[in-house]
Amino acid sequence: MPIYEYSCQDCGTKFEKLIRRDSDLESLCCPSCGEKHLAKELSTFAPQMGGGKGAAPAMCPSGGVCPTPGKCGIN
């Protein structure tokens, strides 16, 4: 059961919605204004690395593990 991200084209509200079946899409509306003019947004996720043991490796802005943590000023 995926969670999708949407933005309302009328009021600009961004929200997430759990879609269990196709019929859920028919009743989908903005939680702020109630309108149905929605756009599906690209979702991002942050996987937990290392199985919860210790600190996760530093992530690079390119999306991979940073080869030089602390050198670019971001990590």
- DSSP letters, the chain, are --EEEEEETTT--EEEEE--STHHHHT---TTT----EEEPPP---PPPGGGSSPPPPBPTTSSB-SSTTTSS--
**Domain interval for residue 7:** 3-43
Query: Look-up: residue for tokens 């991002």?
Result: 44
Provide the whole-model pTM. 0.54
Give the pLDDT score at 59: 54
Give the pLDDT score at 31: 93
Could you tell me which residues come within 8 angstroms of residue 65 by beta carbon, excluding any fewer than 6 positions away? 57, 58, 59
* 38 in a structural domain: yes
Least-confidence region, from 35-39, 51-55, 62-66: 51-55
- pLDDT at residue 54 tops 60: no
**Could you tell me the CATH number of the domain that includes residue 24?**
2.20.28
Give the pLDDT score at 57: 54
Q: How many domains does the chain have?
A: 1
- pLDDT at residue 42 tops 70: yes
